Structure 1
Amino acid sequence: MKAGKFWAWVVFILGAAYFFIPLIATIEFSLRMRRGVYSFDAYKVVLGDSQFQTTFMYSVIVAVFTILLGVLIVVPTAYWIRLRLPQLRPVVEFITLLPLVIPAIVIVFGYIRMYGSNSPLPFLSNNTATNALLVIGYAALALPYMYRAVDTGLRTIDVRTLTEAAQILGAGWGTIVTRVILPNVLIAVLSGAFLTFAIVIGEFTMASLLNRPAFGPYLQNLVANRAYEPAALSIIAFVITWGCMSLIQVLSRFAPKSANRPN
C-alpha cells in the first residue's frame, strides 16, 4: 500500500512538472520585454492592440452563435434519440465522432469547393454568408463535446416520466423540450457551451482559410512577427480556456443527481 502510494505521488509530480514547468517558463519569458526587469509591458501591448480587441470580440460573437446552433441541434436530437429511437444511438454517436476523425482542413476545403463563387450555393460571395458558414463549421467541430455533455445530462433524469407528465398536462413537444427537458439538463448544456467556447477561441484552420478576422489567425500572425507578445497572448488564451474548464467543474457540482437508471 505504501509503495503504491509512493509511486502514485511520483507519477503525479512528474505529470505536474511536465505541465507546469513550460507554463512557468512561458510566463517568465512574457515578463522580460523590458530589458533587465520584469514587467507587464507585453500584456499591455497585447491588450491595448485594437486588432486584438477586434479579433477577440469577433471570436466571442461567433462562439455565442455556435453555441446557440449547437444547442438547437443537439438537445432535441439527443432527447428524441433517448426517448423514442434508442436503437439509433450507436449510429448517432458514430456521426458525432466524425469531426474528431476528419481534420478541420479537410472540412474547410470541402466548404470552399461546395460554396465557392463558382458553386450553385455561393456562401463565400459575401461576409455575412461566410460568417454563417464559419459558425456551421465550428458547430460541427464542437459536436462531439456538446452531444456527449447533453447526453450525459439526459442520463441523470427520467426522460420518459417527465415527458408523460408534461403530455398529461397538455404540453406540446416544443414546450416539453424548452420548458421541461432543457431546464433539467441546463448544467450539462453549459458544460458543452464552455467547451465549444474554448474550441472557437483557439481554432485557426477554418478561420484562416475562410479569411475571417478571428482570434486564432491573429495569434498565429503575432507568433510569426513578435517575440514577447505571443508568450503573453498564449498566457491570456490559457487563462480564458482554463477559466471555462473551471466553470464546468463549478457548475457540475450543481448537476442533478438521480438514482433512476437511464432509459
Structure 2
Amino acid sequence: MMVARKTGRRIGPALITLAAALYFFVPLYAAFQFSLQMRRGEWSLDAYRSVLASDVFLNAFLFSITASGAAILCGVLLVVPTAYWVRLKLPRLRPVVEFISLLPLIIPSVVLVFGQIRLFGSNSWLPLTTTDLGTNLLLIAGYVVLSLPYMFRAVDNGMAMIDIATLTEAAETLGASRLRTIVTVIFPNIRAAIVSGAFLTFSICLGEFVIASLLNRQAFGPYMVQLGQDRAYEPAALAILSFGLTWLLMALMQAAAQRKPGQGWLPFRNKAPRP
C-alpha cells in the first residue's frame, strides 16, 4: 500500500509536467512545421530567409532591442533605490508603493499612451511628440511603466532575502556612502532578482504593440502584426525566431545571475593556479 502511494506521488507530478510540456511544445512544433512549408511539396527555410533578408525586420528588431535595453536600465535605476529606501527607512509606505507599482496592470496601455500624447503633444508645454527623439523617450517611458509591476516585484522579493539593515550598517561603518552602498553592496546581492526583472521587461517590451503603434514607432510588435496581415509563412518563422531569441537571452541572463563575483564566463577562466 505504501509503495503504491509513493509510486502515485511520483507519477502525478511527472504527468503534470508532461501535460504542460505538450501544451507548450505541440503548438510550437506545429508553427515550426508550417514555417517550413513555404515551398510546395518540400520543406525549406525560405520563410526564414525572407524574414532575415528584410531591412524592415532588421530595423524594427534593432529598434526594439535598443528601446528594451533603455527601459531595463531606467527601470533598474528607478526601482532598486526606491525599493531599498522603502524597506530601510519607510516600511509603513511599502503597501502604498506596492499599490502604485500594480497600477499598470489595471490601467490599459491605450489610456497610458493617449495620456502621453495629450500631455506631450504638439500643443503642450513640452511637445515631445514633434521629434523622433522625444517620441522615442515617450516610448521608453511607456515601457518602463508597463514593466514596473514585474521589475518591482522581482527586486522587492530579492531584497526580502537579504538583511538590508545589517549590510547598510556594515558598509557605513567602513566609510561607504549611501550611493556606494547601493552600487557595491545591494546590487551584487540582488543580481539574480534584477536579472529576472530585466528578462520580464525585455519580454514585455519586445512584443508590445499598442504604445509603439499609437506613437508611430517602427518597433518589433507592430512589425509582427503587419507581417501577419500581409504574409502567411513568414509570421510563423518570425514567431519561431522570437521564441529562440527569448530562450537564448533567458539562458544568458541565468548564467549572468549565477556567476559569482570575479568569476569568468568560461569554466577554465579565473581558476586558482596549481602548486
Q: TM-score, length-normalised on structure 2?
A: 0.87
1:235 aligns with 2:240: yes
Q: Is the 8 A contact 1:187 1:254 kept in 2?
A: no
What does residue 59 of structure 1 align with? 64
What does residue 162 of structure 1 align with? 167
What does residue 79 of structure 1 align with? 84
Deviations 1:207-239 (A, max 9, x none): 000001111111111000001000000111112
Matches of 2:175 and 2:11 in 1, distance apart?
61
Ranges in structure 1 where 5+ consecutive residues have no aligned partner: 257-263
Matches of 1:33 and 1:100 in 2, distance apart?
39
Give SS of 1:118's match. coil
User: Aligned AA for 2:183?
Assistant: T
1:203 aligns with 2:208: yes
Q: CA deviation at 1:82?
A: 1.0
Identity of aligned residues (%): 53
Q: TM-score, length-normalised on structure 1?
A: 0.91
1:127 aligns with 2:132: yes
Matches of 1:106 and 1:190 in 2, distance apart?
29
What does residue 32 of structure 1 align with? 37
Q: How many residues align?
A: 256
Of the candidates 89, 106, 111, which is equivalent to residue 111 of structure 2?
Answer: 106
What does residue 21 of structure 2 align with? 16
Give SS of 2:155's match. helix
Q: 1:9 to 1:181 in 2, by over 3 A?
A: closer
Matches of 1:165 and 1:25 in 2, distance apart?
56
Deviations 1:55-80 (A, max 9, x none): 11111111111111101100100100
What root-mean-square deviation, in Å, do the aligned CA atoms of Structure 1 and Structure 2 show? 1.8
Q: CA deviation at 1:163?
A: 0.8
Higher relative contact order (CA 8 A, sep 6+): 1
Q: 1:107 to 1:6 in 2, by over 3 A?
A: same
1:173 aligns with 2:178: yes
User: Aligned AA for 1:76?
Assistant: P
Matches of 1:97 and 1:244 in 2, distance apart?
26
Q: 1:156 to 1:255 in 2, by over 3 A?
A: farther
Of the candidates 42, 51, 68, which is equivalent to residue 47 of structure 2?
Answer: 42
What does residue 266 of structure 2 align with? none
Q: CA deviation at 1:157?
A: 1.8
Deviations 1:90-131 (A, max 9, x none): 111111111112111111111112211122221111110110
Q: Is the 8 A contact 2:38 2:44 kept in 1?
A: yes
Q: Is the 8 A contact 2:192 2:258 kept in 1?
A: no
Matches of 2:86 and 2:99 in 1, distance apart?
14
The farther-off stretch of 21-30 and 237-246 is: 237-246
Ranges in structure 2 where 5+ consecutive residues have no aligned partner: 262-275
